């Protein structure tokens, strides 16, 4: 009985690990339409947005399970990913597939009750990630662009969940930031794996640190300029009643610089979520940016 209880506890821990709950912070992008739509303190809208965040997070976890199942052999050769439950054999494939089916059932049913358009976005995200796992992750540049597309779908899903217009500026800034993080992740993978990089992820053979540095420089500048233009655009000034959003630019600038510092000086950047949660200056900067945005938008 003790052994059975121990095995059950071990399996439960393996499931939670594979769900990557820490990675759910990426799905905070689902809440961004709520913030910029000026409905943050509308209780009904807030609850719908939070529900959308939860369902999207469960969807992301199902995708993590699928990815780990498909990549289990490659992950076994990775110095870090070899310890993942599925790659190490701690979590049986039969259990993993069962969890995928269970999570998707919850998400699809829940998404239907939120909004039919939200459901379509959920299914689009699922399809995109399945195609990415099977094919697109081996296509140079397109692999990172697919990651950026998944962030755009988070924004679209958040807007559909609370039935507000989708800001083109928000989509542009989000896609550029996602490209920045994606290329930074590829650079970290090459640095970490060195000569065995292409063995774990064949597409890394098509990249080099020099090429990635060029791409990172391009999207860094584009992200900053895009955000600056958004803060002073006619749409933003009309909607928020002032150009004060421009005063949040220093936070964005510092955030980009800090992340570049982590990538180049600390040799990290492979996991944006980990950096956000463990790097105190970066975490504080994001908090101050969010606070400044709320004060400017809601207390002008």
The pLDDT assigned to 81 comes to 77
Q: Which residues contact 225 (CB under 8 A, 6 or more apart)?
A: none
Phi then psi dihedrals of residue 242, to 5 deg: -170, 175
pLDDT at 1 over 70: no
What is the Cα–Cα distance from 19 to 47, expressed in whole angstroms? 23
Q: Which residues of 231-243 are buried (b: 16+ CB within 10 A; e: fewer)?
A: bebeebeeebeee
* Mean pLDDT estimate for the chain: 90
Domain 11-165 belongs in CATH node 3.40.50.720? no
The pLDDT assigned to 290 comes to 95
Task: Grade residue 56 by pLDDT with cuts at 50, 70 and 90.
Answer: very high
pLDDT at 236 over 70: yes
- H or E stretch covering 241: none
CB 154 within 8 A of CB 178: no
* Higher-pLDDT residue of 266, 53: 53
Task: Grade residue 118 by pLDDT with cuts at 50, 70 and 90.
Answer: very high
Task: Grade residue 87 by pLDDT with cuts at 50, 70 and 90.
Answer: confident
Task: Grade residue 199 by pLDDT with cuts at 50, 70 and 90.
Answer: low
Helix (H/G/I), strand (E/B), else coil: 78: coil
Q: Which residues contact 262 (CB under 8 A, 6 or more apart)?
A: 268, 269, 275, 279, 282
As a whole number, mean pLDDT of residues 208-213 equals 93
Number of helices and strands (H, E) in the chain?
15, 0
- Other CB atoms within 10 A of residue 9 CB: 10
User: pTM of the prediction?
Assistant: 0.90
pLDDT at 34 over 70: yes
The pLDDT assigned to 272 comes to 81
CB 75 within 8 A of CB 87: yes
pLDDT at 253 over 80: yes
As a whole number, mean pLDDT of residues 212-223 equals 95
Of 294, 296, 25, 37, the closest CA to residue 158 belongs to: 37
What is the Cα–Cα distance from 231 to 109, expressed in whole angstroms? 38
Residue 172 DSSP symbol: H
Q: Which residues contact 50 (CB under 8 A, 6 or more apart)?
A: 31
As a whole number, mean pLDDT of residues 24-44 equals 93
pLDDT at 202 over 70: yes
Domain segments of the chain as ranges: 11-165, 167-300
pLDDT at 191 over 90: no
The pLDDT assigned to 200 comes to 67
State pLDDT tens for residues 148-180. 999 999 999 999 999 999 889 999 999 999 999
Residue 92 DSSP symbol: -
Task: Grade residue 189 by pLDDT with cuts at 50, 70 and 90.
Answer: confident
What CA–CA distances, in Å, run from 224 to 12, 219, 254, 271, 273?
A: 42, 8, 10, 21, 20
Residue 276 DSSP symbol: H
């Amino acid at each position: 009985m003790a052994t059975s209880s121990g095995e059950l506890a071990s399996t439960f821990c393996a499931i939670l690990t594979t769900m990557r709950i820490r990675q759910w912070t990426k799905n905070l992008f689902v809440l961004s339409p709520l913030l910029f739509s000026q409905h943050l303190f509308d209780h009904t809208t807030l609850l719908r947005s939070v529900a959308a965040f939860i369902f999207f997070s469960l969807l992301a976890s199902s995708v993590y399970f699928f990815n780990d199942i498909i990549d289990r052999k490659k992950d076994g050769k990775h110095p870090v990913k070899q310890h993942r439950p599925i790659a190490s054999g701690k979590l049986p494939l039969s259990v993993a597939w069962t969890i995928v089916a269970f999570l998707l059932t919850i998400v699809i049913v829940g998404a239907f009750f939120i909004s039919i358009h939200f459901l379509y976005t959920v299914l689009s995200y699922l399809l995109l990630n399945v195609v990415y796992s099977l094919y697109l992750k081996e296509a140079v540049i397109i692999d990172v662009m697919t990651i950026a597309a998944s962030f755009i779908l988070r924004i679209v899903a958040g807007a559909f969940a609370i039935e507000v217009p989708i800001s083109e500026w928000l989509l542009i800034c989000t896609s550029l930031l996602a490209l920045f993080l994606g290329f930074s992740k590829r650079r970290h993978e090459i640095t970490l794996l060195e000569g065995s990089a292409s063995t774990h992820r064949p597409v890394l053979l098509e990249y080099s640190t020099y090429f990635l540095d060029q791409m990172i420089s391009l999207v860094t500048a584009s992200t900053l300029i895009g955000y600056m233009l958004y803060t002073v655009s006619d749409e933003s000034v009309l909607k928020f009643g002032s150009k004060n959003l421009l005063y949040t630019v220093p936070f964005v600038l510092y955030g980009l610089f800090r992340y570049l510092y982590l990538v180049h000086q600390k040799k990290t950047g492979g996991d944006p979520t980990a950096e956000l949660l463990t790097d105190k200056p970066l975490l504080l900067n994001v908090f101050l940016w969010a606070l400044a945005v709320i004060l400017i938008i809601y207390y002008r």
